[in-house]
Amino acid sequence: MTGDISEKSSLQCAQPLMYTEERENESFKQRLTEQKQSEESVRVCSPPWRKFFLWHLGEDWVLLILLGIIPATMSWAMDFGIEFFLHSTIWLYEKAHSNVFLQYLAWVSIPVVLISFAAGFTYLVGPQAAGSGIPEMKAIAKGVDVKDHLSLNTLVAKIVGLTCALGSGMPLGKESPFVHIGGICAAQLSRFAAFLGKVKQSESQTVELVISGCAVGLACCFGSPAGGVLYSVEVASTFFMVRNYWKGFFAASISAFVFRFLPVCSGSFETITPLFKTWFRQDHPYELMELLSFCVLGILSGLAGALFVFINGVMVRFIRSQRPISQFLVKTRVLYPALVTLVIATLTFPPGFGQFMAGELTQKETLYALFDNYTWSKHLQEEHFDPSDHSVAWKHPHVNVFGTLAISFIMKFFMSAVAISMPVPCGAFVPAFVIGAYLGRLVGEVAAVVLPEGIHHNGTIFTPVPGSYAVAGAAAMSGAATHTVSTALIVFELTGQINYIFPLILSVIVANIVAQTLQPSLYDCLIRIRKLPYPTELTWGHHEGPSIQVEDFMVKDVKYITLTSTYKDLHKILFARQFKSLPLVKSAESMILLGSIECVQLRALLSQHLSRARRLEYLRDCAQNERKHTSTPTSEDGNQKDIQEVSAGGFSTTHSFSSAPVKRPPVRGFQDSDITLKSLLCSHSIVEGLEDDADVEDTMTKKEILEWEEQQLEDKVNFNDCKIDPASIQLLERTSLQKVHSILTLMSLDQLYVTSVGKLIGVVSRRELRKAFEGSVKIRGPITHPPMSTFRESKTRCRNTNTPEATELHSLLGSESSLDQPAESEEK
């Protein structure tokens, strides 16, 4: 398309390959041009700024810095939008103070409209954006590609939908969708880098960047770099490359910093502070006896977390069930979220039931209040309160603080569990966090009344700090619902205080043990309900049902090259489909796999064989031969004219050099007559390098060149200078799906060859694997394991891993004997 294509020979060089397969002409040419276009877009990058990007943007650190900055900026901007919507609701509500009914209308209308818009927008722009997105990210982190999940329209839908959903004031979370947003940003950056000039990153590199994106997503919501990284480790779930840890830490630190720095720039804050800064005493944070009450809190949080997951599961299953009512709700799409919002907004209506549960507070204000330094059972008996003191919302003339806290806890619990089942972008982490904070505050208030005060040698009296229980409860409950322990680190970074480390970790671990015993994690639960293609872990997945074997899903029609292939064969295969590498077998009969060769090399081989240098050498040899034989001069002028006619008239219908000329109709829509096979096949550097040493004049006409090229294509390929990857890991046809997945993922490979007794019988790439997972999930449903299951299943494991993928001999011999048949045919 552009000028840097060599003009020496014409398009017709592709003809020798065409005239026997006339019907394939069109598609072949199309392929040629497509091939060229794609190569162009990757390789050609003339302006210097583009060269700069080519050089630096592909490097990891630039990508990581961008990955750190972009989601953080989004997160900060989104907070503005959310605040605006929340304040609008409050403003309208306060304007309508004359009439309770008007107030009610004001209170419910904006949330219902916002949620309906969010649901509609999400459905129309990117239906994949609904929900938290973490179940899908877990699957993606394991190497499964969930369709459309990392696309740009999902990103748009997620951002707009999330802003509206959170602006409605429903008990929804921001951070799980942000983990998803971080992942999308990572994937899009990776694509962008590839587009700008770098050679495309391998799939596993992209997955690594996406995992870093998850860390970034959490870090830029909470300002917690270390917590974000650990969370991404826990999400990556089976194994974790440590080089990724470095990248994640780097990007997450930048992201958290930018997220906290931007409010300082905009003047909202004077300096960088934690998001929910606490002011608990530092000198003697807790009595040792309080560890027991923290342990009780852990157990309660674990139970509550498991119940939360259960209720959410029931709601999601109800929506997805086949009953008429749920089908109606699904069909109308906007009706279900609008209904849920209406109910929740009605319940929180401050003059109504909301007066018992601090309905007028936003999630942020609720957390500020719950984490404060007062003991409410005493503090709320005071008369006057600071305007910034939100704890007054729990003060009720008829119900004491334990009552209002308990009501708030129970109501928030059920409201959140229902709310997160709405088909809008929303997370469950923050709702669980808030519920946990309620529970913790409740336990803390009780502890402050029940536990004795500690009096110490200098006469100071230390009472339990209910706020610290709220912090521990938040970490424990969110940890229990998501089966993670990194929540402990997240709250340290979120509150800016780490001196409660032991009681907090105790609560989180206890809550995790309880919750993991009772229920799968929130994300695993959704993975199961949605039947996402989720690879079972190899380590403890052996004994569950019959496993799918590689022979069931491998590609059996493998394209290969043999030691006796001609360049023509090579050419055919290379343009038949886009491969990254091709297997080399000994012969088409024996099919014994020797190794694999990258297509780049094969293309170079082909182009070198048809190169100008070789042609000139051929001319030189011809000239020498001529001199020896002193033969008669050729009619070059006539030939030249002949060819010019051909090139002017598009495709000629007769060939003077062909002994058996074949009629070919002129083909339309093929204007780029400058494309040569060679220029299509090889990168420019190789061509230029080869065309430098021209000491013989290129006297060949285009027709002669064509003739010569056709001759050359009949040669056998000389693989001597080729680097051949010996394909040193080969699968047998009985390898299980899990093993194939592990090998492909762990070794960062793109494809694997399946052999039987040395014979190539199939090939498996990530695509086939993905399909197989989807298939297996359809049959059995995804199998997930709580992270702690290694503790409990250690005995079962010992018993079962003794016979991994064991098969009965007869089945083995059956397949073996059937495989002997090609062996016999080989001997013929």
Q: Does 456 bind its own copies (CB under 8 A)?
A: yes
Q: Does 622 bind its own copies (CB under 8 A)?
A: no
**What's the min distance (Å) between Cβ of 442 and its own copies?**
25
Q: Does 138 bind its own copies (CB under 8 A)?
A: no
C-alpha to C-alpha distance for 519 and 496, rounded to whole angstroms = 31
Q: Does 153 bind its own copies (CB under 8 A)?
A: no
Q: Binding to its own copies (CB under 8 A): which residues in 1-60?
A: 58-60
Q: Among residues 285 and 337, whose Cβ is nearest to its own copies?
A: 285
Q: Among residues 270 and 697, whose Cβ is nearest to its own copies?
A: 270
Q: Does 270 bind its own copies (CB under 8 A)?
A: yes
DSSP run (H or E) holding 813: helix 809-827
* Among 127, 351, 352, 496, interactor with its own copies by CB under 8 A: 496
454-455 vs 751-756, strand pairing mode: unpaired
**What's the min distance (Å) between Cβ of 731 and its own copies?**
6
Q: Are 40 and 188 in contact (CB under 8 A)?
A: no
* Among 210, 509, 643, 763, interactor with its own copies by CB under 8 A: 509
Q: Among residues 245 and 708, whose Cβ is nearest to its own copies?
A: 245
Q: Does 286 bind its own copies (CB under 8 A)?
A: yes
561-562 vs 454-455, strand pairing mode: unpaired
Q: Binding to its own copies (CB under 8 A): which residues in 671-730?
A: 719-730
561-562 vs 581-585, strand pairing mode: parallel
The token duo for 64 is: 């990581």
Q: Are 485 and 301 in contact (CB under 8 A)?
A: no
The token duo for 515 is: 């919750």
* Among 242, 450, 648, 779, interactor with its own copies by CB under 8 A: 242
Interface pattern 409-438 for its own copies (x via CB under 8 A): ------------------------------
Q: Binding to its own copies (CB under 8 A): which residues in 156-215?
A: 198-199
Q: Among residues 650 and 787, whose Cβ is nearest to its own copies?
A: 787
Length of the chain: 828
* Among 29, 158, 180, 260, interactor with its own copies by CB under 8 A: 260
Q: Are 228 and 218 in contact (CB under 8 A)?
A: yes
Q: Among residues 20 and 720, whose Cβ is nearest to its own copies?
A: 720
Stretch that binds its own copies, among 117-125, 298-306, 527-535, 801-809 (CB under 8 A): 801-809
- Give the Cβ contact number of residue 242 at 10 Å: 7
Q: Binding to its own copies (CB under 8 A): which residues in 729-768?
A: 729-732, 734-736, 739, 742-743, 746-748, 755-759
Instruction: Compute the chain's Rg from CA coordinates.
Output: 34
C-alpha to C-alpha distance for 368 and 393, rounded to whole angstroms = 12
Q: Does 588 bind its own copies (CB under 8 A)?
A: no
Count of residues that bind its own copies according to CB under 8 A:
116
Distances (CA, A) of 385 to 381, 382, 655: 10, 8, 100
C-alpha to C-alpha distance for 225 and 490, rounded to whole angstroms = 8
Stretch that binds its own copies, among 330-338, 444-452, 468-476, 589-597 (CB under 8 A): 589-597
* Among 492, 553, 575, 708, interactor with its own copies by CB under 8 A: 492
593-598 vs 581-585, strand pairing mode: antiparallel
* Among 136, 360, 445, 493, interactor with its own copies by CB under 8 A: 493
The token duo for 251 is: 């990007």
Q: Does 381 bind its own copies (CB under 8 A)?
A: no
- Give the Cβ contact number of residue 519 at 10 Å: 22
The token duo for 569 is: 């064969």
- Give the Cβ contact number of residue 762 at 10 Å: 20
Alpha helices in 577-713 (DSSP H): 599-609, 612-629, 636-648, 677-681, 684-691, 702-713
* Among 1, 77, 100, 272, interactor with its own copies by CB under 8 A: 272
**What's the min distance (Å) between Cβ of 113 and its own copies?**
39
* Among 89, 190, 237, 293, interactor with its own copies by CB under 8 A: 237
